[in-house]
Amino acid sequence: MRVDFLRQGRRKLRTGAILTSLFLIVVLMGALAPALGAKPDPSDFSRGFRKAVTVSGAQEHRAALQAIADANEGTRASGTAGYDQSAQYVYERLEAAGYSPEFQTFEFPFYRELSTPVFERTDVEPDKSYAPGTDFATMTYSGSGNVTAAVSAVDLIIPPGAAANTSTSGCETSDFAGFAAGSIALIQRGTCTFAIKATNAQTAGASAVVIFNEGQPGRTGVVAGTLGAPGYDIPVIGTTFAIGNELSNSVLNGLTGTEAHVKTETESEIRETVNVIAETATGDPNRTVVIGAHLDSVIAGPGLQDNGTGSAGNLEIAETFAAQDRVASNRLRFIWFGAEELGLLGSRYYVDNLSQAERDQILLNLNFDMIGSPNFVRFVYDGDGTTGPAGPPGSGSIEDVFVDYFDSQGLASEPTPFNGRSDYGPFIAVGIPAGGLFTGAEGIKTPAQAVTYGGTAGTAYDPCYHQACDTFANLSLTGFDQMLDAAAHATLFFSKTKSNVDTNTAPVGATGTGGGGGLHDEAHEQDAS
């Protein structure tokens, strides 16, 4: 037994010696890797910054935005007190962090419905009611009214033509010759805008307007359109081809003998809102990186995922950059855009009011809009045009920075097309390269995506998209954490890079995509720890 014990002890000693030797070899190989030409980890240089940019910090901002929404009828939409208080919160946090923030004020067409609309046919027994959303929808910027009147057909084509956009119903003032003032104008979708149709009807004395779908395949469902701007004093709704055909009573022009009740209660007017802008004191102003996220929600909900996640992440990154006394090589300009949900109005205003010289100073735009969807996918904007149109030159290099980062973390990602649905749109429209992150909205997760990212196939990436349930709880912490790290990494990367984005060279003094050498940042050597 004694001999066996001693032998066992020797075996343990030899095993320990072997493990120690292996450990030293691993350490030595790690030290020699750059000299041996091993590919550097593109995430090394941002490690310390990413560690300081925390989900808990971003969640603090989301909680504040939720409290603001709770105190303001559950919304933070531009033009409401909820948005104004959200903008003030961001302003005050930036100011406390050492920035000199500014409000960029602009006017925009505000709209919301104040009550559930009513649409019913009243010349039958009993009255035939139609369901909002299913059978009809109030046109954006509709006026208010409570009308029961005869329905008058306006230059209809029934059955519809073989091709779409063949009906000119309501497009000419002559269509309303002999129109009985006070009646409800029944108009068919077609060659001109809903605004032209509604304007002509209102001018002719209509008490309300019903615009129904044209009738060809694919153009039969509810028309849920916009009039483009305020200026209407009467209800304007859209409906299906079937309902329009029913109300027309087979009459193509003039009184049909049918009668309807239409009721809408809306606010539709020009209001003011703001973008919140802050930039670093350091960095070349001729190489400015704009980091954007929209701050507003839709009227229907508080918008804590869309886009409380992007707004909170943007603020957490800005605060951390300042707290660590970062010195930017390229100027960073953080922007929280207003009125995105009404058509990218804040970012359009911002870009439209830049001179060409000011546009030329912008190196690129990073956009973070919805980065914590509960059923998330790690989407990266498709700068090089793999799945859709390519962005301006350099956009592909921005995409590569995000993809390389995710690869370095062993995380899958996939491209999402530039489809014009977020605030990058006005930037790429004037030739400014852009990129960013997105975790999905109303789109449906595929079985393959569920295997790769987890979550549930066959359901929306964000089941609460544009709804009242988009609250603080509407979040994947895992997805938010991963996307926030990627956003922080890219922000630091582009604050340092000395190259043009179309060459995708790593920032001076950092390991990363495209070469560069070892990290040497005396102020922040913890980045490599």
Nearest to 462 by CA among 476, 480, 448, 472: 476
Q: Give the chain's domains with CATH numbers.
A: 45-111+270-518 (3.40.630.10), 115-264 (3.50.30.30)
Nearest to 296 by CA among 175, 422, 113: 422
Strand order from edge to edge, sheet including 128-129: 128-129, 118-121, 254-264, 145-154, 184-188, 208-212, 236-239, 136-138
Lowest mean pLDDT among 171-180, 218-227, 229-238, 510-519: 510-519
Alpha helices, DSSP H, located in 218-295: 241-248
Average pLDDT over residues 90-118: 97
Lowest mean pLDDT among 34-38, 249-253, 411-415: 34-38
pLDDT more than 70, % of the chain: 87
pLDDT reading at 296 higher than 70: yes
Separation in Å, CA 454 to CA 283, 374, 411, 414: 40, 11, 12, 14
What's the token pair of residue 354? Answer: 């830049």
- Higher-confidence position of 499 and 23: 499
Average pLDDT over residues 466-495: 98
What's the token pair of residue 234? Answer: 């009467």
The distance from CA 30 to its chain's CA centroid, rounded to whole angstroms, is 41
pLDDT at site 39: 55
pLDDT at site 24: 39
Which residues in 27-41 are b (16+ Cβ under 10 Å) and which e?
A: eeeeeeeeeeeeebb
Q: What are phi and psi of 484, to 5 degrees?
A: -65, -40
Average pLDDT over residues 193-205: 98
Average pLDDT over residues 68-73: 98
Beta strand ranges found along 70-166 (DSSP E):
102-113, 118-121, 128-129, 136-138, 145-154
pLDDT at site 502: 67
CA 314 – CA 205 distance, rounded (Å): 50
Q: Determine how many CB atoms are found less than 10 A away from the CB of residue 510.
A: 24
Provide the 8-state DSSP code for 262: E
Residue pLDDT, tens place only, 311-366: 999 999 999 999 999 999 999 999 999 999 999 999 999 999 999 999 999 999 99
pLDDT reading at 88 higher than 60: yes
Beta strand ranges found along 443-501 (DSSP E):
none
Strand order from edge to edge, sheet including 434-438: 102-113, 266-279, 330-337, 284-294, 362-368, 434-438, 379-381, 414-416
Lowest mean pLDDT among 250-264, 424-438, 503-517: 503-517
Query: How does the average pLDDT of the chain come out, rounded?
Result: 89
Q: pLDDT confidence of 519, banded at 50, 70, 90?
A: very low
Which residue is catalytic, options 120, 259, 279, 340? 340
Q: What are phi and psi of 115, to 5 degrees?
A: -155, 165
pLDDT at site 95: 98
pLDDT at site 21: 45
pLDDT at site 26: 38
Is residue 399 flagged as an active site residue? no
CA 86 – CA 339 distance, rounded (Å): 13
Q: pLDDT confidence of 461, banded at 50, 70, 90?
A: very high
pLDDT at site 417: 97
Average pLDDT over residues 473-491: 98
pLDDT at site 121: 98
pLDDT at site 100: 98
